[in-house]
A and B are shown apart, each in its own frame.
Chain A
Amino acid sequence: MPHPQLRSNGELKHLLTIEGLPGVLIHQILDTAKGFLGVNTRDVKKVPLLRGKSVFNLFFENSTRTRTTFEIAATRLSADVVNLNINTSSAAKGESLLDTIDNLVAMHADMFVVRHASSGAPFLIAEHVNRTRGDGVHVINAGDGRHAHPTQGLLDMYTIRHFKKDFTQLSVAIVGDVLHSRVARSDIHALTTLGVPEVRVIAPLTLLPSGLDQMGCQVYTDMKKGLKDVDVIIMLRLQSERMRGALLPSAQEYFKHYGLTQEKLALAKPDAIVMHPGPMNRGVEIESAVADGPQAVILDQVTFGIAVRMAVMSLLVANP
């Protein structure tokens, strides 16, 4: 069955998930992002590539950070941005998801940036848009449930490529609540596609989904073993709800065994980089000394994130 995010000629029409994207396409996006980095440091931080296009940020789940970076990216491309924060309760009382989309398409939306609490929601939207509008409307997944956060995956890859150059020689560890993490899934797909030989996942069993070995990962429950000699550490955020769901006893115990401290960081390679999709829970998954330390590239991720999103938006619109 053809992937709903690709056109019949293999070009990207939507960005819904990294899974299934060919490595060359990922590199093309990263190369294009590099070109956009320069725009963000000029005096006139604007290029006309999306001039006249309407980008609708459709956020069914609150997120000021992600929404803001997409807004900045679209604005720097000269697009018109409309922000719609729809909390699910009003949607339940009012319009269905697809009715909302139909209405916005009728207002000549060119692009939807969608964040939704349910895995697969952007697929539903993309298939609907493909069926009813043919070409010309693009969907970017800004995070769907636990399934995917492709732009985060791409900016994480940009960051790794920036600091480490060659993916095929790396050992990468992803630490934390993988079970609930769309970032982890997108990172895993990207890393394996780009040829990273060792993708390690480190977490207690309660926070690990099934099928990780089928996704190409090695599983560690012992962080000390898992971090040995890795080149890249990606820390995931631990949400407080996990304690309430009987998955973990406490944040303190979690930090003791799965938090990144300077001591644990020393087990990795001396030039290892520390990444985090943000926002960080200091003292829960990461120690301040590490987060503010020389090996952390967390703020670079934010900068790269805008360029990567500019690249994705431009690429989608470039092939109408």
Chain B
Amino acid sequence: MIVTTAKLPDPEIALQTLASQVKSRAGQDQCLRHVVGIHSGGAWVARRLLALLTQDSAVGALFDPVIGYLSSAFHRDDYGHNAQRRGLSAIVKGGTELPFEVTGARILLVDDVLYTGRTLRAAVNELFDYGRPAAVELAVLVDRGARELPVHADYVGATVDLSPLEAIVLAQHSDGQFSFSKTEG
């Protein structure tokens, strides 16, 4: 069993990095964006990110102050397959809420960790059940590589290199602060 000695990134720093990347792009293209968090880790990150974006006097007005959420549960590819039984419990974690017109919108999807890309594929499928967006971008707090689908993130807070046996888990504490931990197995 290979275990990396890679140090985990600081999610608070990663969040700041992410926010500045997004603000920079928004400043350049001056487009209105809707922030949508992917349940459940992405939802936490999206709320904190939106708060940071809307505080900025320069570009704050370019972001819809009302946040949206996406559930990938209904379009997961591991539903009903023996190998992975996590499918249905995801339904319980939280549902899709998109309180704006999806057709023609520029959407900024937010997730905590980008790994194989399967969750994102499922989330985008869910999104397209609601309408035809003008554009979809992805912001992730941390990218751990090892993609299994042709998916990329437009904004990345930090990268990390882990073995396939390890998982990186985001936690949010009572004061709202994030921390990362590693689990094995």
Give the interface of A toward B (CB within 8 A).
28, 31-32, 34-36, 38-39, 42-44, 46-49, 314-315, 317-320
CB-defined contacts of A47 to chain B, threshold 8 Å = 74-75, 129
By the criterion CB–CB under 8 Å, are B75 and A48 in contact? yes
By the criterion CB–CB under 8 Å, are B129 and A34 in contact? no
By the criterion CB–CB under 8 Å, are A315 and B80 in contact? no
CB-defined contacts of B9 to chain A, threshold 8 Å = none
Query: Quick one: given A35-B95, A38-B95, are A320 and B80 in contact (CB under 8 Å)?
Result: yes
Q: List 11 A-B contacts (CB under 8 A).
A: A31-B92, A35-B95, A39-B74, A43-B131, A44-B129, A47-B75, A47-B129, A314-B88, A315-B88, A318-B87, A320-B80
Query: Quick one: given A47-B75, A318-B80, are A35 and B129 in contact (CB under 8 Å)?
Result: no
CB-defined contacts of A35 to chain B, threshold 8 Å = 71, 73, 91-92, 95
By the criterion CB–CB under 8 Å, are A38 and B85 in contact? no
Q: Does B96 contact A (CB under 8 A)?
A: yes
Among A34, A44, A314, A318, the most chain B Cβ lie within 10 Å of the Cβ of A318
Give the interface of B toward A (CB within 8 A).
71, 73-75, 79-82, 85, 87-88, 91-92, 95-97, 129-131
By the criterion CB–CB under 8 Å, are B73 and A44 in contact? no
SS class of chain A's interface: helix, strand, loop or mixed? Answer: helix
CB-contact partner of B92 in A32, A317, A318, under 8 A:
A32
Least Cβ–Cβ distance between B156 and chain A, in angstroms: 30
By the criterion CB–CB under 8 Å, are B130 and A42 in contact? yes
By the criterion CB–CB under 8 Å, are A317 and B75 in contact? no
Least Cβ–Cβ distance between B86 and chain A, in angstroms: 10
In this complex, what residue of B is CB-closest to A317? B80
CB-defined contacts of B97 to chain A, threshold 8 Å = 38
Least Cβ–Cβ distance between B81 and chain A, in angstroms: 8
> Bound state CA distance, A20 and B169, in angstroms?
37
CB-contact partner of B79 in A32, A39, A43, A49, under 8 A:
A49
CB-contact partner of A44 in B71, B79, B82, B130, under 8 A:
B130
Given contact pairs A35-B73, A318-B79, A318-B87, enumerate 12 new A-B contacts (beta carbons under 8 Å): A32-B88, A35-B71, A35-B92, A38-B96, A39-B74, A47-B74, A48-B75, A49-B74, A315-B88, A319-B85, A320-B81, A320-B82
> Bound state CA distance, A191 and B97, in angstroms?
32
In this complex, what residue of A is CB-closest to B91? A35
CB-defined contacts of A36 to chain B, threshold 8 Å = 91
In this complex, what residue of A is CB-closest to B90? A35
Least Cβ–Cβ distance between B129 and chain A, in angstroms: 4
By the criterion CB–CB under 8 Å, are B130 and A43 in contact? yes
CB-defined contacts of B131 to chain A, threshold 8 Å = 43
> Bound state CA distance, A48 and B71, in angstroms?
14
CB-contact partner of A32 in B81, B82, B91, B129, under 8 A:
B91
CB-defined contacts of A315 to chain B, threshold 8 Å = 88
Least Cβ–Cβ distance between A32 and chain B, in angstroms: 5
By the criterion CB–CB under 8 Å, are A48 and B80 in contact? no
CB-defined contacts of A39 to chain B, threshold 8 Å = 74
CB-defined contacts of B92 to chain A, threshold 8 Å = 28, 31-32, 34-35
CB-defined contacts of A34 to chain B, threshold 8 Å = 92
In this complex, what residue of B is CB-closest to A38? B95
CB-defined contacts of B88 to chain A, threshold 8 Å = 32, 314-315, 318
Q: Which 10 A-B pairs have the closest CB atoms?
A: A47-B74, A35-B91, A44-B129, A38-B95, A318-B88, A31-B92, A318-B87, A32-B91, A317-B80, A318-B80
In this complex, what residue of A is CB-closest to B92? A31
Least Cβ–Cβ distance between A115 and chain B, in angstroms: 25
